[in-house]
Each structure stands twice: as C-alpha cells, then as structure tokens.
Amino acid sequence: MSKAEDVSKFERQRQEKLSRIKELGIEPYGNRYQGAEPAEDVKSGFKDGDTTQKANCAGRIVLLRDIGKLIFMTLRDRSGTIQVGLSKKLLAEQWQLVKLLELGDIIGATGQLGKTKTGEITIWVDKVVLLSKCLLPTPEKFHGLADIDQRYRQRYVDLWANPEVMERFKTRSAIVTTIRDFLVSRGFLEVETPMMQTIAGGAAAKPFITHHN
C-alpha cells in the first residue's frame, strides 16, 4: 500500500469517527472553553498529598495509551505538556466520546489533580470537552515534523509538532520586543519598507513579470 493510500485510509477512518461523534449529539468544532490553566502552571502548583486540588487544562493530544477501561493522554498547550487519566468509572456518560478521541484532537479536561504510581502528575478527568477533531495524519511522535518544505508551508503544524521550534520563536519574539522597546524609549521611529512594489527601482534592477496561482 502506497503512502497516499495509507493517508486516504487514515482520513476515511477519522471521518467515520467524526460522523459517530456527531451522532452522539456532540459538536466537534467551535466549542468555547473557559478557565483553562497553562499545563506548566498546573504542574508547578501541585501540592503532594492534597486530595482536594482540581485542575482545568486544554490542549492537543500528542500521546495516547488505551488500556481498556483506562486511557492515559498527554496534552500539549503553549506552556508544555501534562498527562490526563480518563477512566470509564468517572466518565461513564462520556465514555463513548472518550473512545473516539485520537492523536491530534484538541480537548478540554477538568478533574482532580494527583499522581500515578510512577509519580507523574496527572489530572484524573471527570469532565471532557471536545474542542476540535483532527482529520489529517499527525507527525510521527518521536521525530516530529521532519519535512522541511512542509514545515515552512504548514508552520502551525511545525509549532505544535516540534516544541523546540516554538521555544525558538518565543526567544526571537522576546529579542525583537526588547530591541524595539530599547529604540522607542530613545526616540527612534519604526518605519516599514515594503519589499515588493509595482514601481521598479534600483540602479541594477531589471523589471520582470511574475504570476500568482
């Protein structure tokens, strides 16, 4: 089976799950989600032994382990990642939806904060909200998005598939902001110079005709 056929089969399977989600009366897109906390803030604020601590996070599913009546997922948001645990016991009414969730889907999850037997901070979910259903293949989890052309054409995928790229952009943005603030505080004026214009200019420049599809 070719790669194109694999992708087509994958998309059909996801479309089927999308239809099943709609049959459950759940809107898979456009849901608003209030009160979500950054994943890293939740983890840093965790108090070991506090059985009353609740958490509310939203993010994209980047890892998923289904062991029957218990599913572990790793959600990634702009701040980092956090593990969520979804059990049939706590989510009996939403279990049909939970079993239809896949890598790439964006969800909101609320529940009690605790730790697993291995010591990983985890949200034991008692309510889950589907925010966006992913219908396209997700990048390979260990190598991220490796195709250079695709990374530049689909920068939004690159940013969530490769966390180091997001960190690079954050650093660049902070540097640009610092330089801009430094110059503005000393009376400099920012003037934009267009890179493309209709009038040809420059001593050695030769006009040429191009097109856009």
The pLDDT value given to residue 165: 86
Task: Quickly state the pLDDT bin for 151 (edges 50, 70, 90).
Answer: confident
Q: What secondary structure, in 3-state letters, does the chain show?
A: CCHHHHHHHHHHHHHHHHHHHHHCCCCCECCCCCCCCCHHHHHHCCCCCCCCCEEEEEEEEEEEEECCCEEEEEEECCCCEEEEEEECCCCHHHHHHHCCCCCCCEEEEEEEEEECCCCCEEEEEEEEEEEECCCCCCCECCCECCCHHHHHHCHHHHHHHCHHHHHHHHHHHHHHHHHHHHHHCCCCCCCCCCCCCCCCCCCCCCCCCCCCC
- Average pLDDT of span 68-84: 94
Q: What is the CA radius of gyration of the chain?
A: 23
> For residues 84-123, b (16+ Cβ closer than 10 Å) or e, as one string?
bbbbeebbeebbebbebbbbbbbbbbbbbbbeeeeeebbb
Q: What is the pTM of this model?
A: 0.77
Q: Average pLDDT of the chain?
A: 87
Answer yes or no: is pLDDT of 143 > 70: no
Measured CA to CA, the distance from residue 120 to residue 128 in angstroms comes to 20
Nearest 5°: the CA angle 58, 134, 122 is 30
| pLDDT of 95 over the 90 cut | yes
Tell me, what's the pLDDT at 5? 61
Output the CATH code of domain 3-132.
Answer: 2.40.50.140
